[in-house]
Structures are given as structure tokens and as C-alpha cells.
Amino acid sequence: MAKTKEQKKKEVDDLKDKISRSNIVVFTSFSNNEGDGLKVNESQELKKKLKKDNSEYVVSKKRLANVALNDSNYSDIVDTNKLDGSLGLAFGYDDPMVVSKTVYDFSKSHQSLKLLGAIMDKDFYSVDRFIQLAQLPSKDVLLGRMIGMIQYPLTGLASVLQGNIRNLVLILSNIKK
């Protein structure tokens, strides 16, 4: 059943709101040219995973998404009509890395979900660039590595200083004997 103008306007307003609040918008295609696509239960699974990350996944008509992107000043960045297949949008409201990892990992295990790119920091990320972003370690892992790199020289210094004291105590105990 065709949507009325009011329904379309409401959907465009809803998309504009989501675009304005999100830190990342991931463009996906949930069906391929043979007619096979993401099944309803798989789509629900993706939505549940994204909801845990304070994100959401919506399906939209390309024309309505273009209107929302134009109204949000993204018209010069991306034209959804040039993207292949149907259009699904993942909106991330918190950490964009978590959303990118979730969508990327889901697309690896579900071949019918194709990545088309993303908008982050007012820039369009191509599929390859988006995949590179999604494969980066998480913020917690990077912070852990940084702390380890800072801590390593200090641990080494403490070990060297303890070695000298240990040798002194050993020499003194041998002299006492």
C-alpha cells in the first residue's frame, strides 16, 4: 500500500532527527539482485544487537533518505540513488566504533547484508575505508595497549633496580658465611 504525503513527511522528519543525533550513519543493502535478502529474523537480530549499543537500524526508501540527507546538509557527501540495492541505515548515537564493528561483524556472518559506506564526522567513508575503521581495535583495547606501553619502561626500571639490591644482599650474605 502506498504511503500518503503525511506519512512520507513524517518518515523524512524522523530520518532527519536520527541523522542529526547520530555520530555515524552506516549505509547497507539488505537484499541482492537475485531477490534473496536478509530474512526478517536476521533483521530483528541486527536490530537487537544495535539496540544494546544505543543504536538502531531502519529501512528506508532511497528517495526519502535523500530528502532527509539534503535537509541535513549531506547532499554533497552522499547520494543514496547511486548506492546499489535496497537501503538500510544504521544510526549510532554513542561510540561510532562500536556501531561500525557490530554492523561489520554482522555482515561477515550474513552474506545478504552488504555494506555501502558510512557518514561520520561530516565525511563519507567508502566501503573499504569503513571496513578499515571497523577492524580497528576498540577504545578499551587501545587504552589498555597505551597503558601497557607506558608501564613497561617503569616495570623494567624497577626490575633492574631490584636486581642490584638483590645482588648486594646476596654478596653480603656470602660475606657473612
Q: What is the pLDDT of residues 154-177, one digit of tens each?
A: 888 888 888 888 888 888 888 988
Predicted TM-score of the model (pTM): 0.76
Query: Above pLDDT 70, what percent of the chain?
Result: 96
| pLDDT single digits (tens) 108-145 | 998 888 999 999 988 889 999 999 999 988 778 888 98
Least confident of 1-10, 103-112, 143-152: 1-10
Q: What angle do CA 95, 96, 98 make, to 5 degrees?
A: 70
